[in-house]
């Protein structure tokens, strides 16, 4: 137990040294937003063409968000690692010293992985949340058309929640932020429905 406590203390120290928390929050919200919006597009498109097989929606939705997750994982890792290495090298030049065995180097290596995990997991989590009703349809608990409605509601709720979270971070009107992200979702569904009506 003491060993686990020390690991968490070390992680907290790494995050403090590198000031990673605000960056990780941005990664999480941005990719969570992207994941939810992608799911709205897939679900609205499936609704329009009348897809009645939940496996098709699940495969499409998970495939799209898995691709986003893997892209985020590798993209965030490589980007963050490059930025951290650049910063360390400039610091080494300024201090005329080698920082390869320093706590700062350890922290930089850790946060590159941390950023990648946050960035990669975010769209996958929001996708799974949006797709829950279709998993229930597979088991026969709810009908496919009810799954669509519940999924729309859940996805819009996720977008609204991300907005509330952003409002809290900004220390501004959380309801206004929530409504802005909700409106983005409603616009996406409306455009998809209009395109389907053409």
d(CA 91, CA 107): 14
131 pLDDT more than 90: yes
Q: Is residue 34 part of a domain?
A: no
Q: Which is more confident, 1 or 22?
A: 22
Predicted confidence at residue 133, as pLDDT, reads 94
User: Residue 75 domain-assigned?
Assistant: yes
Instruction: Give the C-alpha separation, 48 to 42, whole Å.
Output: 10
Is the pLDDT at 142 greater than 70, yes or no?
yes
Domain of 186 in residue numbering reads as 39-197
For 50-170, where are the alpha helices, taking DSSP H only? 54-95, 103-138, 144-170
72, part of any domain: yes
CB atoms within 10 A of CB 21: 13
Taking CA atoms, 45 is separated from 5, 101, 144, 166, 188, in Å, by 47, 53, 14, 28, 11
pLDDT of residue 143: 92
Percent of the chain with pLDDT over 90: 22
- Residue 140 within any structural domain of the chain: yes
Q: What is the pLDDT of residues 50-88, one digit of tens each?
A: 889 999 999 999 898 889 888 888 888 898 888 888 888
pTM reported for the whole predicted model:
0.83
Number of domains in the chain: 1
Ramachandran angles phi, psi of 43, nearest 5°: -70, -40
More confident residue, 95 or 160: 160
Residue 17 falls inside a structural domain = no
pLDDT at 146 over 90: yes
The DSSP string of 40-61 is HHHHHHHHHHT---HHHHHHHH
* pLDDT > 80? residue 92: no
Taken in order 195, 41, 161, 169, the sign of the CA dihedral is negative
Q: Would the pLDDT of 132 be above 90? A: yes
Identify whether 96 is part of a domain.
Answer: yes
- Residue 50 resides in a domain: yes
23 occurs within a structural domain: no
């Amino acid at each position: 137990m003491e060993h686990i406590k020390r690991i968490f203390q070390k992680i907290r120290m790494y995050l403090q040294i590198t000031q990673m928390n605000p960056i990780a929050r941005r990664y999480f919200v941005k990719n969570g937003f992207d994941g939810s919006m992608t799911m709205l597009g897939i679900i609205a498109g499936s609704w329009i063409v009348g897809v009645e097989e939940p496996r098709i929606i699940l495969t499409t939705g998970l495939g799209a968000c898995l691709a986003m997750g893997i892209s985020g994982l590798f993209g965030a890792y490589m980007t963050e690692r490059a930025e951290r290495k650049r910063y360390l090298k400039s610091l080494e030049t300024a201090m005329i010293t080698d920082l390869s065995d320093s706590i700062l180097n350890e922290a930089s290596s850790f946060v590159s992985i941390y950023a990648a995990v946050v960035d990669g997991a975010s769209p996958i989590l929001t996708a799974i949340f949006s797709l829950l009703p279709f998993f229930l349809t597979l088991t026969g608990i709810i009908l496919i058309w009810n799954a669509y409605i519940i999924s729309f509601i859940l996805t819009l709720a996720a977008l609204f929640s991300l907005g509330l979270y952003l409002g809290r971070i900004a220390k501004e009107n959380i309801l206004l932020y929530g409504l802005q992200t909700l409106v983005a979702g409603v616009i996406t569904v409306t455009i998809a429905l209009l395109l389907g009506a053409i």
